[in-house]
Amino acid sequence: LSQQLSVQKKSREESSGEGSGVEILANRPYSDGPGGSGQYTHKIYHVGSHIPSWFRALLPKAALQVEEESWNAYPYTRTRYTCPFVEKFSIEIETYYRPDAGQQTNIFNLSAAEKRQRILDTIDIVRDPISPGEYKPEEDPKLYHSAKTGRGPLGDDWLEAAAGGPLMCAYKLCKVEFRYWGMQSKIEQFIHDVG
């Protein structure tokens, strides 16, 4: 439920201003897909106002949309982003949710070659920097206290302090593909850096 609320909030935030918005084309249950049974969604994001100017200059205005297909079969989800006008582009994100503190070493069953290519990036919800334009005090885990659970605010040692208590880790495998000669490395690196 909280994930659905987060998705709805993000959709509202993305639907403001010229060249932005989200269209929901499908939102239905599935029974034989990635992860077994779950909820399938298909959306179109109009992203013109969110694309860097150097990249926007390369694309026609009609190409400034991204399609999202998502299969949510908690504790597994798979999401794929594509752009209809840039056919050799995709971002695929697989997620496993586990009740641990990030101890899984190969939850996606990667081959030895794939493990050598991967970059591990542990996200620390308390200590990782947030740009001033995105910071919201009401969402800061260093300030928030839950009246319902009695948890929070979190200190810099929150992960160690949470040992033995309720904790969940979202393991994400992100694959970016932009198969255009001369631009592939720059675009793929940009997406990994800002994603």
160 vs 106, higher pLDDT: 106
Flag the least confident range among 11-15, 170-174, 189-193. 11-15
Q: What is the CA radius of gyration of the chain?
A: 19
- pTM to 2 decimal places: 0.75
Decide: 180 and 88 in contact? Cβ < 8 Å: yes
H helix or E strand, kind and range, residue 33: strand 20-33
Say which residue the tokens 């255009």 belong to.
Answer: 180
Say which residue the tokens 């926007």 belong to.
Answer: 56
Closest by alpha carbon to 135, among 145, 121, 143?
A: 143
Q: Residues of the chain with pLDDT > 70: what percent?
A: 81
With a cut of 60, say whether residue 5 has pLDDT above it: no
Q: Can you give the pLDDT at residue 86?
A: 74
With a cut of 90, say whether residue 31 has pLDDT above it: yes
Q: What end-to-end distance do the CA atoms of the chain give, in Å?
A: 24
Largest CA distance in the chain: 54
179 vs 194, higher pLDDT: 179
Domains of the chain: 2-99+170-194 (3.30.530.20), 115-167 (no CATH)
Q: For residue 20, name the pLDDT band (cuts at 50, 70, 90).
A: confident
Q: Can you give the pLDDT at residue 63?
A: 79
Q: What is the mean pLDDT of residues 73-99?
A: 91
100 vs 87, higher pLDDT: 100
Q: Can you give the pLDDT at residue 56?
A: 77
Closest by alpha carbon to 166, among 77, 97, 76?
A: 97
With a cut of 80, say whether residue 87 has pLDDT above it: no
Q: What is the mean pLDDT of residues 31-51?
A: 90
